[in-house]
Amino acid sequence: MKTIILQMALPYIRFILIFFSVITLFRGHNFPGGGFIGGLMASGAFIFQALAWDVNSSRKTLRTQPSVLIGSGLMMALLSAIPGILTGKPFLTGTWVKIPLFADHTLKLGTPLLFDIGVYFTVAGVVLMFIYTLMEEWQWK
């Protein structure tokens, strides 16, 4: 799979994938999208790199271990359960904070968003872990 076209196009593909994965992530909640699909797209960016060059360079671009991604993602999801408990409702209850911006736009921030970001990281981490492991074993042979 080491073609020069893919290698050259890689920075653009990576940028587009990650950019749109973030957009999909934030579009989530009330529209199609969300953490799961976003995470898959983000992991796609790194998989392309692993295909175009090799696993090691992809790992270098990622900078951390996939397992760290999984851990932090799960931790975020777990944290999002806590505000519900603190306000006396069952855990995981959605709590929202509204921050007024200009005109009548408000920024709604809430625990479901945190949960979704957690999902995003977890999914990206899990997929990358699978792919890296399988590709590396392929290279041993």
Partner 1 sequence: MLALLVGVLSSTGVYLLLRRSVLKLVLGIIFLSNAVNLTIFIAAGLVQGKPVFVSEDAANPADMADPIPQALILTAIVISFGLVAFTLALKYKYFSLSDTDDLDELKELEE
Partner 2 sequence: MIALPVLIPLFTAILLVFSNQARYQKIIGVSGAFAIFATSLFIISNVGGKQIEVLQSSNWEAPFGISLVVDTFSALMLVITGFVSFALAVYSLFYIDEKLITHRYFLFFHTLLMGVNGAFITGDVFNLYVWFEVMLMSSFVLITLGSKPLQLKGGIKYLTMNLVASLFFLAGIGILYGKTGTLNMAHLAVILQNDEQAILMNTSTMLFFMAFGIKAAVFPFFFWLPSSYHTPPVAVTAFFAALLTKVGVYAMIRVFTLFFIQDPQFWHTLLLAVAGLTMVVGGMAAASHYEIRRILSFHIISQIGYMIFGLGVFTPLALAGAIYFMIHNMLAKTNTFLVAGHINRLKGTYKLKSIGGLYKSYPLLGILFIIPAFALAGVPPLPGFFGKFFLIKAGFEAEKWFISGVAIFTGVLTLFSMIKIWNEAFFKKGLEEVPEQGLRERLPLRELLPSMMLGAGTILLGIGAGVFFDYFIEAGNQLMNSDQYIQVVLKNFEYVAN
Q: Does 26 bind partner 1 (CB under 8 A)?
A: no
Report the partner that residue 12 touches, choosing among partner 1, partner 2, none (CB closer than 5 to 8 A by kind): none
**Nearest Cα residue to 120 out of 44, 9, 16, 22:** 22
Site for partner 2 in 8-67 (CB under 8 A): 67
Q: Does 104 bind partner 1 (CB under 8 A)?
A: no
- Neighbouring residues of 46: CB distance < 8 A, sequence distance ≥ 6: 14, 58, 61, 62, 128
Q: Does 2 bind partner 1 (CB under 8 A)?
A: no
User: Between residues 35 and 83, which has the closer beta carbon with respect to partner 1?
Assistant: 35
Q: Closest separation between CB of residue 68 and partner 2, Å? A: 7
Query: What sign results for the dihedral spanned by CA atoms 53, 55, 57, 61?
Result: positive
Residues touching partner 2, count (CB under 8 A): 15
**Could you tell me how far CA 129 lies from the centroid of its own chain?**
13
SS3 96: strand
Q: Could you tell me if 21 and 63 are in contact, meaning their C-beta atoms sit under 8 angstroms apart? A: no
Distance between CA atoms of 38 and 133, rounded to whole angstroms?
A: 22
User: Between residues 19 and 91, which has the closer beta carbon with respect to partner 2?
Assistant: 91
Q: Does 100 bind partner 1 (CB under 8 A)?
A: no
Site for partner 2 in 64-83 (CB under 8 A): 67-68, 70-71, 74-75, 78, 81
Degrees, nearest 5: CA angle 37-59-135:
80
Which stretches of the chain bind partner 1, using CB under 8 A? 30-32, 36, 126, 130, 133-134, 137-138, 140-141
Which stretches of the chain bind partner 2, using CB under 8 A? 67-68, 70-71, 74-75, 78, 81, 84, 89-94
